[in-house]
Amino acid sequence: MLEFSSGLANCQNLSFLNIDFQSNDITGQGLKDLCQGLIRCTKLQSLTLNLSCNKIEEKYAHDIGKLIANYENLTKLALILDCNKIDYDCIQQIGQALQKYKKLLNLKLSFRDNFENNAIKGLALALTKCSELATLNLSFQSSKITYQGVQGLLQNLQKCVKLQTISVFIRPRKIKKSHKKKLIQTSLKFKRQVNKPSIIIQ
């Protein structure tokens, strides 16, 4: 990873970058090395980073939030971080970085771990500060997410006034039928904002 990172550091004029290291046994130290190279690519407009199914621990996962805080000029960002140790603090840092993005048009986030309601509700609230956000794709899976978390997420996302396309997939803890009906009602409100919204809650 150090060799790859060193190569990235010499590509400071990159505008578009797609990195797919899914299922590569990358540890926290590997992520730290990668970030040291990526942080030099300050002219990026589009970044896709797939680190799903690796071995990134909580204390290193926070480096992702610190990294993307350097890319306020991005118009497109995709972070796929499934099956790592992504906790509330990491998601909060990502949200804090994203709310400074004034040019972001297209965002994809995918997390599958044991984070709780406050993580996704806070993230959605941060996204309302992305004033130009038009396309949003979210995938969240956690046994600690409950009805309250999903409802809070959807309600906050409805404040993203420039959304044109939205796709949300959520696999929370089992939700009561009565609560599912309420979530369907909340989801239907997106039809006032976007054409054919996709909201799936399993």
Residue pLDDT, tens place only, 132-154: 999 999 999 999 999 999 999 99
pTM of the model: 0.94
Q: pLDDT digit string (tens) for 61-114? A: 888 998 999 898 899 999 999 998 888 889 999 999 999 899 999 999 999 988
Number of domains in the chain: 1
CA distance 120 to 202: 16
Task: Provide the domain limits for residue 10.
Answer: 2-201
The per-residue pLDDT for 52 is 95
pLDDT of 7-54, one tens digit each? 888 888 899 999 999 999 999 899 999 999 999 998 999 999 999 999
Give the pLDDT confidence score for residue 57 in this predicted structure: 87
Q: Which helix (H) or strand (E) covers residue 136, if one does?
A: strand 135-141
Separation CA 14–CA 123 (nearest Å):
28
pLDDT at 106: 97
CB 61 within 8 A of CB 85: yes
107, 133 Cβ separation under 8 angstroms: yes
What pLDDT is attached to residue 80? 96
- Residue 59: pLDDT over 90: no
Six-digit token string for 190: 């997106």
Instruction: List the CATH number of the domain containing 170.
Output: 3.80.10.10
Please report which helix (H) or strand (E) contains residue 111, including its range.
strand 106-112
